[in-house]
Amino acid sequence: MTRELRIMVADDEGDMREFYQSMLPLLGHKVVAAVPSGEELVQRCKTLRPDLIITDIRMKDMDGIEAVARICKDEPMPVILVSAFQDNQLLERAQAEYIMGYLIKPIEQSDLAPAITIAMSRFEQFHMLRKEAADLRQALQDRKMIERAKGIIMKVAGIDEQEAFRRLQRMASDRNRRLVEVAEMVLVAEEMVRPGAER
């Protein structure tokens, strides 16, 4: 039921990188890169664009939380942190929305499978929620614009609201444009002819 994921791992200990490279394929995933440092993680991510990042926190040059913060600044990616440490400060810093799991070392193969599954589905949900929110925001924006255009038409043409909306719809279908585009044109035209518009 799980699809193959392109996973990138980071851990400063070779044993652990080898462990990931042995175990993750058994779980049906592909390790696209196993790097020992935060800097490399950031660099390789730009080109490889993995589906999931599993990273240690304490590494020599840059810690994992810092590295994923840079990576996910532009485009969020699901991240699982694996660390021997669990103090409050670290937990505080691991509150970012794209961090989908926090495993405490020592971990076993059996810990990885559920963590990955949960992380991916959570990220999926998270992603969908984000998309939904964005759509809703857009819809709201369009609605506002159409309402304003309707108001202008009502005022200029001296017609009622239903009639004004019908005219907008007709215009849109005639010109093969979206309703909101027609509304925007109305608003622009009105702004141009509005008295006292010239400055």
Partner 1 sequence: MRRLPLVYVALETLVVAGAYFVSGLLALAYLTVHHKSAAAFWPAAGIAFAALLLRGSRCAGGVFLGAFFLNLCTEGNVATSLGIACGNTLEAFLAVLLCVKFAGGARAFIHPRGYFVFVLLSCLLSTVPSPIIGVTSLALGGYAPWDNFWNICLIWWLGDSVGMMVIAPFLVLWLTIRWQPVRWSALLRFATVTTSVGVLSWLVFFGKLPGGANLPAAFLVLPLLVLGAYRFRARRATALIVLMAFIAMTGSLNALGPFGSMSHDVTLTLVQLFVACTTVTVMELAATAAERHRAEGELRQIHNELEERVQERALELSRANEALRKEITDRRNAELRFRSFLESAPDAILIVNQQGKVVLANVQAEKLFGFLRSELLGRPVELLMPERFRAIHEEHRGRYFTHPATRPMGTGMALWGLRKSGQEFPVEISLSPLITEQGTLVSAAIRDTTARREVEEKLRQAERLAAIGEMITGMAHESRNALQRSKACLEMLRLEVPDRPRALDLMGRMKKAQDHLQHLYEEVRQYAAPIVLDRQPCRLGEIVHEAWKCLLESGTRDDVHLCESGSGANLVCQADRVSVGQVFRNILENALAASPEHGEIDVCWSETSVDSWPAVRVAFHDSGPGLKPEQRERVFEPFFTTKAQGTGLGLAIAKRIVEAHGGRIAVGSNNMHGAEIVVDLPRGTS
Under rule CB under 8 A, residue 16 binds partner 1: yes
In the bound complex, what is the minimum distance in angstroms from residue 106's beta carbon to partner 1? 4
Return the closest-CA partner of residue 20 out of 46, 48, 45, 55.
55
Residue 137: how many CA atoms within 13 Å on its side-chain side? 6
- Judged by CB under 8 A, the residue of 8, 10, 19, 79 near partner 1 is 19
- Identify which of residues 23 and 185 has a Cβ nearer to partner 1 in the complex: 23
18 or 147: CB nearest partner 1: 18
By CB under 8 A, residue 13 contacts partner 1: yes
Does 15 participate in binding partner 1 (rule CB under 8 A)? Answer: yes
Contact 59, 36 (CB under 8 A): yes
Stretch in the footprint of partner 1 (CB under 8 A) among 12-20, 30-38, 67-75, 116-124: 12-20
Determine if 18 is a binding residue for partner 1 (CB under 8 A): yes
- Report the site for partner 1 in 94-123 (rule: CB under 8 A): 104-109
> Does 62 sit near partner 1 (CB under 8 A)?
no
| Rounded Cα gap, residues 82 and 17, in angstroms | 12
Asked if 194 and 161 touch (Cβ cutoff 8 Å), the reply is: no
Q: Under a CB-based contact definition with an 8 Å cutoff, are residues 52 and 5 in contact?
A: yes
Q: Which of 48, 49, 85, 134 binds partner 1 (CB under 8 A)?
A: 85
Judge residue 186's burial from the number of C-beta atoms within 10 Å of its C-beta, 0-12 exposed, 13-18 middle, 19 or more buried.
Answer: buried
Q: How many residues bind partner 1 (CB under 8 A)?
A: 16
Got the DSSP string for 85-99?
---HHHHHHTT-TTE
The footprint of partner 1 (CB under 8 A) covers: 13, 15-16, 18-19, 22-23, 26, 84-85, 104-109
